[in-house]
Amino acid sequence: MSEIGLTNDPGRMRHGSNIGQPMTRREGVLKVTGSATFAADNHPPGMLYAVLATATIARGRLVSLDEAAATAHPGVVAVMTTANRPPLAMDPDAKTNPFMFRLDLLQNDRIRYAGQPVAVVVAETLEAATEGAALLSPRFEAEPARSTLDDADAFALETVGAGNPGQAEIGDVEAGLDTAGRTVDVTYETPAQYHNAMEPHGVVARWEGDRLELDMPTQSLAMAQQRLAGLFGIAPTDIHIRSPYLGGGFGSKGFPAGPQVLGIMAARITGRPVKLVLRREQMYGPVGHRAPTRQRIRLGMTEGGALTAIENRTRTASSTFDDFFEPAADVAHTLYASPAIRTVHEGVRLDTGTPLFMRAPGEASGSIALESAIDEAAEATGMDPLAFRLKNYAEREPISGKPFSSKALRACYEQGAARFGWAGRPLEPRSMRDAAGRLLGWGMGTATFPALMFQAKARATIRADGSGLLETGAHDMGQGAWTALAQIAADAVGLPIERVEFRAGTSDLPDAGIAGGSGHTATAGMALHAAGAAVIARLAEIATADEASPLYGAGNIGTLAQNGRLVRRDDETRGEDFATILRRAGLDKVEADGQSAADPAARDAYAMHAHGAVFAEVSVDPDLGQIRVTRLVGAFAAGRVINPRMVESQLFGGMIWGLSFALHEHAVVDRRTGRVMNADLAEYRIPVNADVPPMEAILVHEDDAHVNALGIKGVGEIGITGTGGAIANAVRHATGRRVRRFPIGLADLIG
């Protein structure tokens, strides 16, 4: 299914524009009624089920499998191992670009992390495949596991994240610290975290000769096509991927995962369609995670509270066989004015699956530490935390010296603080209680995330009846992309949204780029905008050259598309509808392509970020240490808002994730085996409804003429970046205790 066919109430439109309207999700009814078809909902005729057998050690080698027992089990069709897996056209450990990650595809008997696939059992039923996998009874030869930041030697990192420099510096940090009237020198630790999207990774694979049909959740259809084409030695156009709905991704579905490729390989050896879907515990290893960090932050301040130096030295981890290092220190580059800034990353290699982009990679872990340390600096100088941040407000990006393309952070501080009631906050910790005698605390944090944009393509068609068709291979993980993009598409061709068919979610459509980095709306939206402008330009060429048209001769004057009509720019009463123009020209349609990419000149000239401020209230039981977040208010400036309802939803989601980061979420690793001990949704704690307080997200107006033609920034990840620090600071204000290891728990506050 590639088309979202539901329309929205045109009565919501004001001034003829679809952009800026709080339209409901176009696919919402399909999802809540169970009609939306996710990848694992597909059951082609003759389909088999595949189940992974996985390693129970983190380091060593596979010694044996009882293949005979598994093969003899009723219903088992095949057992795929290192000995009989089909040949691949590319080594799974080869990397031809920085965004290609090494995959475990049964290459050999080496075990590199707990949960690594060691065999695949394929059967007529899921039950038979599951039982067959258990009968394999794998035996391992274990070696000591390296599972913490202190279990391996550290080394300097040349690059972190998506190719950022591992070290950066301006000014003289040591001089700034030496001459400071006050200093802060603290170390914060953040844990390993796992994506845990509601929909597990999976695939339904069908081979038709050398043509591959896939139902597979992905955040990048084109990148998945390219990667799989390389592995299997076929043309990308011979791979058709359907991914109309994703049950969350958070970065983990940006690239094909090893288990998905194993499902495709199983379909090849059996000659039948195969479905492979990970169990929840199998998502803790082969599909990415957020690595732990240890961040030493040093701050220097004058007696009056002006920063003289900022330093963040971060230690983080990747796997033993691939490279992705959390760029946690980099958030210090952009937030606060200081004449001297230094960030340094060092890495260790652990026996884990390779970390990956996870919602706000680097910014989430870096900001919770930096925002906590900034509060410690404010306290050291006797200043209110908001006053301290305003004292050190950066008018230009500190690390680069570039002007911001736009920055409404002052307005975020002002509006958020006013709504929260921050002016009534006492400076002294442990000085507020609620009616039940619980300690109350108020904290705040600054939010930031880069305004990213990638390359994309789109196609626009005006049909004989005057309706529009706009197409791009966009991805909706629940963020409302298909609604927001349809609004952009409709405005691009000057039609009400109910007269526009929007197609997305399959690989045979134009490449919409990756849905990641909070850049999908800007990326795919600008491609749709360009395609719409191009098709309207072609329609205008036809009309202005037609002597029978009221637009004849208006080529130099120009035309506008409004509500399905072309009108003269100098006289909007003169024009005609799209259908009439096409009918007189004898055409059944007119179409055009468009593409988008970030403007390198603008990116070189300006620093581009979204900003925000989050204010939190917590209550803490003084005897038991139980923490409850009782209020969250966030104010965010992220350029032009396409759909305020979708934006508010994304900001709420980010704020909840920040709450999870501060108080709930961490992987517990057994140091003896390297296994994640809480690999389920019962013990891997994330907030449930009872944990989420009343929240408010204020959308602060911001115009940005440089970030792209529509002025769009992203909102998916920024909500995390201020919230975790705000909650940690509120706990300090409530209890008088500063906790520097996350998540904060009962044991940190009692005793």
Cβ 299 vs Cβ 183: under 8 Å: yes
Same domain, 491 and 522: yes
* Pair of tokens at residue 740: 């520097």
Residue 361 near residue 290 (C-beta atoms within 8 A): yes
| CATH number for 579 | 3.30.365.10
The answer as to whether 185 is a domain residue is: no
Query: Strand pairing partners for 449?
Result: 610
Cis? peptide before 244, omega within 30° of 0: no
58 vs 142: CA distance, rounded Å? 8
Same domain for 459 and 589: yes
State the pLDDT at residue 12. Answer: 31
**Residue 196 is assigned to a structural domain of this protein:** no
pLDDT at 16: 67
Contact 217, 202 (CB under 8 A): yes
Which of the 8 DSSP states describes residue 452? -
Between strands 609-620 and 439-450, the pairing is: antiparallel
Q: Within a domain: residue 178?
A: no
Q: Are residues 680 and 696 both part of a single domain?
A: yes
**Are residues 82 and 9 both part of a single domain?**
no
**323 and 427 inside one domain:** yes
- Same structural domain, 591 and 611: no
Structure tokens, 649: 């939803």
Distance CA 222, CA 514 (A): 8
678-713 as b/e: b if 16+ CB within 10 A = bbeeeebbebeeebebebbbbbbebebebbbebbbb
247 found inside a domain: yes
The 10 Å Cβ neighbour count of residue 189 is 15
* 591, β-bridge pairs: 461
Q: Which two tokens stand for residue 223?
A: 């990148």
Q: By residue range, what is the domain housing residue 712?
A: 293-452+603-748
List, for the chain, all residue ranges whose pLDDT scores fall below the cut of 70.
Answer: 1-16, 751
In sequence order, the β-bridge partners of residue 73 are: none
Close Cβ partners of 625 (under 8 Å, ≥ 6 residues apart):
745, 746, 747, 748, 749, 750
Separation of CA 587 from chain center: 43
CA 295 to chain centre: 23
Domain count of the fold of the chain: 3
The CATH code of the domain that includes 229 is 3.90.1170.50
Separation CA 190–CA 745 (nearest Å):
13
Give the integer Cα–Cα distance in Å for 344 and 311.
Answer: 8
- 47 and 135 together in one domain: yes
DSSP string, 627-642: EEEEEEEEEEE-B--S
What letter would DSSP give residue 85? Answer: P
Q: Same domain, yes or no, for 127 and 245? A: yes
Identify the pLDDT of residue 15: 44
Q: What is the DSSP letter of 511?
A: B
Is there a domain that residue 173 lies in?
no
**Any domain includes 191:** no
Q: What pTM value is reported for the model?
A: 0.96
Note whether residue 483 is domain-resident: yes
d(CA 151, CA 414): 46
436 in the same domain as 404: yes
Sheet holding 139-142, edge to edge: 110-111, 60-64, 139-142
| Same domain, yes or no: 324 and 428 | yes
